[in-house]
Chain A
Amino acid sequence: MDFFLQLLVNGLSVGLLYGLSAMGFVMVFKSSSVLNFAHGELLAIGAFLFLVLSTWARLPIPAAFLMTLAGCFVLGFLVERIFLRPLIGEQLIFVIMLTVGLAAIFKGLLLFVFGGNLHTYPVFLPEGLALHLGAIYVPPVYVASSLTGIIFLVLFGLFFKFSPQGIFMRSVADNQRAALSLGVHVKKVFALSWAIAALVAGMSGIVLGIINGISVHEISAIGLKVFPVVILGGLDSIGGAIIGGIIIGLLEAFTGGYISPSLRDVVPYIVLVFILLIKPYGLFGLVEIERV
């Protein structure tokens, strides 16, 4: 029973992170219909940027964290500006291929600089953050990751619900032509959604790095798990992304705990194929409001 609860806690907190990083992915997809295959690399870049700033540059942890997020934000912005904007209006196939190419470039660069080995962050989370719920021990990492996850969720929820930019972004996702007719700067919205996606991805990368340690291959493989997550949740549903993330997180934790650790990483993809066969638009895909 304790083992079960332990797995539940682990699965939930990792799943929340999957959901968060999938949220960035869904945002890009919704606003500009770009399926971003470089998402995993964005995670890895965040994780390594934090590594550089915290251990090599020896910045204090909060400063390093904030600077990493800022760096990722700028990176996302630049990626959109340099690589994707020239392709607006091009065939979808080229856009997708471009992100595949970008993924390879980023991965190559990271491997080039950091090699394929496992790096670790210094331990900086105080042990006092740990929770003891009865017999289960929740390590500080999980507490911190869940907290950041929830904080980010709430922040983004508020941003999309109330801030003008958030509403503009939703309007572009909803009806690009109408948004254009009202003077919404659609290209800026694309850039902003890339920037936010990269920021959230970077954040998830850092926390995943704290949990598992960071290696280029590992983290970029985790990044690709946004695909099972978003397929499960429905490609265009931000809420679905979060729930899909949690489901995938739990699924992984339980498969890893009860069946076999090596099956853990494949199980999301097996689920993905089944979902595609049975319920193609995801469990929580937006119910299309269609008017004729």
Chain B
Amino acid sequence: MNSDLLLQLNNISVVYSDVIQVLKGVSLSVESNRIISLLGSNGAGKTTTLKAISGLLKPENGKVTDGSVLFDGATIQNAAPEEITRRGIIQVLEGREPFKYLTIEENLKVGTATRWMKPYRKDLDMVYDYFPSLVKRRKTLAGYCSGGELQMLVMGRALMAHPKLLLLDEPSLGLAPLVVKEIFRIIRRINREQGTTIVLVEQNANMALQIAHYGYVMENGKIVMEGAAEDLRENPDVREFYLGMGAGGTSRSYKDIKSYRRRKRWL
């Protein structure tokens, strides 16, 4: 086994409300200081995978019924989110979810919940360094900020916790292309400078594969493909389904795509 393996999912199954099975045996491993990207269409189980790691399944009546989640050598499946976050896993939720009635700075302070006795001045400065546009908004209620600012806010909020592993769920959701570019640049910078391991769930596969080191593709609650980011970028199936390009790099007629056949093969 690799010594700097930070997180390992061994064949986990997740069931919601005791009946709805969403993950059907997902295994993946994440090495330290890497960016891993998790791709897949809607409903493939990407978000559920993240929640299974961060322990946020519980409030939604979900449960890891099989398999194990290993983080830093400890099994953490079905542990309480309070405990998992204190081990250093922070998830940034899809759709941003700021505290609308708290100011930007108060939002950031909530990020220190896992270690709230310690001083946090320096961390605030660090976050403002990564996200300079938050500085002038620090006294504004988060509910009145723009989508881009909110995405930066929730990422900064997560950084305040000094996570070893950051789970980012669709950071580009609903943002302008330029802002998306900015956000991805910052994600890479965080990974490089802080040494934070990042698991990135994205629909924007092109962007995600550009900054990631390794990628997994999910379909119907299973991992159907994995590989180094460069390889995935070159893979004809991924190119066709996620990067929107035909095998030759030119757009093709719908008649030729026959995507249902391709998908079928994956299942």
Interface residues of A (CB under 8 A from B): 89, 164-165, 167-168, 170-171, 174-187, 286, 289, 291
| Nearest B-chain residue to A181, judged by Cβ | B91
A175 in complex: contacting residue of B85, B97, B116, CB < 8 Å: B97
Chain A residues whose C-beta falls within 8 Å of the C-beta of B86 in the assembled complex: 183
B56 within 8 A of A: yes
Q: CA–CA, A165 to B113, complex, Å?
A: 9
Question: In the complex where A175-B99, A178-B98, A289-B141 touch, is A183 in contact with B106 (Cβ < 8 A)?
Answer: no
Judging by beta carbons under 8 Å apart, are B110 and A177 in contact? no
Judging by beta carbons under 8 Å apart, are B110 and A291 in contact? no
B112 within 8 A of A: yes
Judging by beta carbons under 8 Å apart, are B99 and A181 in contact? no
Chain B residues whose C-beta falls within 8 Å of the C-beta of A168 in the assembled complex: 110, 113, 116
Judging by beta carbons under 8 Å apart, are B101 and A181 in contact? no
Judging by beta carbons under 8 Å apart, are A289 and B106 in contact? no
Interface residues of B (CB under 8 A from A): 54, 56, 59, 61, 81-82, 84-86, 90-93, 97-102, 106-107, 109-114, 116, 141, 143-144, 154, 157-158, 161
Judging by beta carbons under 8 Å apart, are B102 and A177 in contact? no
Judging by beta carbons under 8 Å apart, are A182 and B110 in contact? yes
Q: CA–CA, A170 to B143, complex, Å?
A: 14
Judging by beta carbons under 8 Å apart, are B90 and A175 in contact? no
| Nearest A-chain residue to B117, judged by Cβ | A164
Q: CA–CA, A178 to B154, complex, Å?
A: 9
CB A106 to nearest CB in B, in angstroms, measures 30
Q: CA–CA, A286 to B101, complex, Å?
A: 10
Judging by beta carbons under 8 Å apart, are A174 and B81 in contact? no
Judging by beta carbons under 8 Å apart, are B90 and A183 in contact? yes
B116 in complex: contacting residue of A164, A177, A179, CB < 8 Å: A164
CB A177 to nearest CB in B, in angstroms, measures 6
Judging by beta carbons under 8 Å apart, are A185 and B113 in contact? yes
Question: In the complex where A171-B99, A178-B98 touch, is A183 in contact with B56 (Cβ < 8 A)?
Answer: no
Chain B residues whose C-beta falls within 8 Å of the C-beta of A175 in the assembled complex: 97-100
| Nearest A-chain residue to B107, judged by Cβ | A171
CB B186 to nearest CB in A, in angstroms, measures 19
Judging by beta carbons under 8 Å apart, are B100 and A177 in contact? no
Interface centre among A182, A183, A185, A186 (most CB of B within 10 A): A183
CB B142 to nearest CB in A, in angstroms, measures 9
Chain B residues whose C-beta falls within 8 Å of the C-beta of A179 in the assembled complex: 99, 110, 113
CB A192 to nearest CB in B, in angstroms, measures 13
CB B242 to nearest CB in A, in angstroms, measures 27
Between A and B, 16 residue pairs with Cβ closer than 8 Å are: A168-B110, A174-B101, A174-B102, A175-B98, A175-B99, A175-B100, A176-B59, A178-B93, A178-B97, A178-B154, A181-B54, A181-B81, A181-B91, A183-B90, A289-B100, A289-B141
Judging by beta carbons under 8 Å apart, are B59 and A177 in contact? yes
Q: CA–CA, A277 to B116, complex, Å?
A: 44
Q: CA–CA, A179 to B100, complex, Å?
A: 12
| Nearest B-chain residue to A186, judged by Cβ | B82
CB B200 to nearest CB in A, in angstroms, measures 16
Chain A residues whose C-beta falls within 8 Å of the C-beta of B102 in the assembled complex: 167, 170-171, 174
Judging by beta carbons under 8 Å apart, are B112 and A164 in contact? yes
CB A239 to nearest CB in B, in angstroms, measures 12
Question: In the complex where A183-B81, A185-B82, A291-B143 touch, is A178 in contact with B99 (Cβ < 8 A)?
Answer: yes
CB A190 to nearest CB in B, in angstroms, measures 13
Interface centre among B54, B90, B97, B141 (most CB of A within 10 A): B97
Question: In the complex where A164-B116, A181-B93, A185-B113 touch, is A170 in contact with B81 (Cβ < 8 A)?
Answer: no
Judging by beta carbons under 8 Å apart, are B98 and A182 in contact? no
Chain B residues whose C-beta falls within 8 Å of the C-beta of A186 in the assembled complex: 82
CB B89 to nearest CB in A, in angstroms, measures 9
Question: In the complex where A180-B81, A181-B93, A182-B110 touch, is A174 in contact with B100 (Cβ < 8 A)?
Answer: yes
Judging by beta carbons under 8 Å apart, are A182 and B100 in contact? no
Judging by beta carbons under 8 Å apart, are A182 and B144 in contact? no
Judging by beta carbons under 8 Å apart, are A181 and B59 in contact? no
Chain B residues whose C-beta falls within 8 Å of the C-beta of A171 in the assembled complex: 99, 102, 106-107, 110
Chain B residues whose C-beta falls within 8 Å of the C-beta of A183 in the assembled complex: 81-82, 84-86, 90, 113-114, 161
Question: In the complex where A183-B81, A183-B82, A183-B85 touch, is A177 in contact with B113 (Cβ < 8 A)?
Answer: no
Judging by beta carbons under 8 Å apart, are B101 and A182 in contact? no
CB A186 to nearest CB in B, in angstroms, measures 8
